[in-house]
Amino acid sequence: MSATSSVAGPQELLLQLLDPANRADPYPVYRQFRDRGPMQLPETNLTVFSAYRDCDEALRHPSSSNDRLKSTLAQRLLADSATPRPMGAASFLFLDPPDHTRLRKLVSKAFVPKVVNELRPDITELVDGLLDHIAERGRFDVISDLAYPLPVAVICRLLGVPLEDEPGFSRASALLAQALDPFFAVTGEPAEGLQERIRAGQWLREYLHDLIEQRRSQPGDDLMSRLIAVEESGDQLTADEIVATCNLLLIAGHETTVNLIANAILAMLRHPTQWAALGADADRAPAVIEETLRYDPPVQLVVRIAADDMTIGDTTVVKGDSMMLLLAAAQHDPNQFQQPETFNPDREAFQHLAFGRGLHYCLGAPLARLEAAVALSAVTARFPEARLDGEPVYKQNVTLRGLSTLSVAV
Ligand code: HEM
């Protein structure tokens, strides 16, 4: 299937978005979405937005819900099913106020910049250790040797999840990340491997339940122990909600920052002056990170449900319809960014949507930025001669798009 056909209809374009052949460079497909403007597919109760202004407006709109059960599609399925949530209780990412507000507030203190910045020495030590290993070898895989182990170690430490258990749940986390891909919305069928994903979800929930019981008798200085103390002190949250919250943080900590670090390394290796500039001046890290978040965002799209009839730009969305917001398309919108296809960390101050916007704005943004700043400034300074060593390989994921292999010679 060609990525650049200019006459694709709405359904064909959506299938191109799902097509693994377009994963390495989905941006020509996103351009076609923008050229078509908002797309409505009444037969599947779906509206797709790809312009920056529309995505921004939909994210801020008071009638935008993140509760999938409010969609017409889910309501139809529920009518035939006894289990409303086969994947367990929803995390606060997929809840609306007041539950969203209550649960987010309980963990938000742990992620504010002031608290996160206290992790800098630990993160620096972790990065230095990883780079020492690389230096001994002369070549490395960005994913397995740096971009993956760092955020995983940090989130496990924050939550109080033993790092020794990590190999077990990294597989579950990868499978659950695929559940965010919009196969059902586009094709009416889940992507292959649904049963495997459901089993992985069950396994992870049971693992977290067991860990919570251990922490209950032996509390530590970690987020899970603090949530247990809140649970025990009153009626602010339930054990299932602790599991759902830890699940969300664990998956967010596993599947996103890795892509930010790897996408930034790839962009700089393709623009070697940027690699050299950051290596010489660590203060450039925030500019590189914000431009990577715009240019090649780790989260390519998000979904919202119209809780009421609502209007975005000139488009009316009917209550219960799903809205697919193509953030990666919005961030290459020439009406918002000059020369959007150019990777330019020196562009004038700008606002991207890579961490979302509004109520569900990414809680982990300060942590992701810190981890990426430490990793990127250290790797560029330590390996000034680094260069790409073979073609990058992408995972199949559409929503949490990212590399599976990125070989670099140093
Ligand atoms: C570069 C890395 C990251 C990116 C690009 C990213 C992106 C996003 C986006 C786009 C959303 C909004 C989703 C929506 O509106 O539907 C979000 C929400 C969220 N992120 Fe991140 N994220 C990153 C790293 C992290 C990390 C490291 C954590 C925590 C360990 C985290 C925790 C969360 C949480 C808890 C939410 C839900 C917030 C809410 O519903 O109120 N994220 N993230």
What rounded mean pLDDT belongs to the chain? 93
**188 neighbors 286 (Cβ within 8 angstroms):** no
- Tell how strand 407-409 and strand 139-141 pair up: antiparallel
170: left (phi over 0), alpha (psi -120 to 50) or beta: alpha
Angle between helices 120-135 and 365-382 (to 10 degrees): 40
**54 neighbors 313 (Cβ within 8 angstroms):** yes
**235 neighbors 374 (Cβ within 8 angstroms):** no
Which residue is associated with the tokens 């597919």?
A: 41
Q: How far apart are the first and last CA of the chain?
A: 36
Helix (H) or strand (E) holding 259: helix 257-270
Give the Cα separation of 24 and 349 in Å (integer): 28
Q: Give nearest CA residue, ligand 1 atom 19.
A: 362
Which 3 state secondary structure label does DSSP give 241?
A: helix
Cβ density class 36-48: b for 16+ within 10 Å, e for less: eebbbbeebbbbb
pLDDT band at 168 (very low <50, low <70, confident <90, very high): confident
Instruction: State the alpha helices, DSSP H only, in 179-238.
Output: 183-187, 194-217, 223-232
Which pLDDT score, from 0 to 100, does residue 77 have?
A: 80
Which pLDDT score, from 0 to 100, does residue 2 have?
A: 42
Which pLDDT score, from 0 to 100, does residue 82 have?
A: 63
Which pLDDT score, from 0 to 100, does residue 1 have?
A: 40
Which pLDDT score, from 0 to 100, does residue 4 have?
A: 45
Which 3 state secondary structure label does DSSP give 301?
A: coil
What is the reported pTM? 0.95
pLDDT tens digit sequence for 28-47 = 999 999 999 999 999 999 99
- Give the nearest ligand 1 atom to 111 CA: 29
Which tokens belong to 182?
């919009």
**Cα 252 to ligand 1 centroid, rounded to whole Å:** 6
**Cα 16 to ligand 1 centroid, rounded to whole Å:** 26
pLDDT tens digit sequence for 312-363 = 999 999 999 999 999 999 999 999 999 999 999 999 989 999 999 999 999 9
Which protein residues are within 6 Å of ligand 1, measured from CB? 66, 92-93, 104, 155, 248-249, 252-253, 256-257, 260, 298-299, 302, 354-356, 360, 362-364, 367-368
Q: Give nearest CA residue, ligand 1 atom 29.
A: 364
Question: Phi then psi for 299, rounded to 5 degrees?
Answer: -110, 110
Helix (H) or strand (E) holding 409: strand 407-409
**Cα 273 to ligand 1 centroid, rounded to whole Å:** 30
Which pLDDT score, from 0 to 100, does residue 3 have?
A: 44
Say whether pLDDT at 276 is over 50.
yes
Of 168 and 119, the structure prediction assigns the larger pLDDT to 119
pLDDT tens digit sequence for 63-121 = 999 999 999 988 888 877 766 666 678 999 999 999 999 999 999 989 999 999 999 99
Distance of CA 16 to the CA centre of its chain: 21
Which tokens belong to 340?
């959007």
Give the Cα separation of 191 and 48 in Å (integer): 19
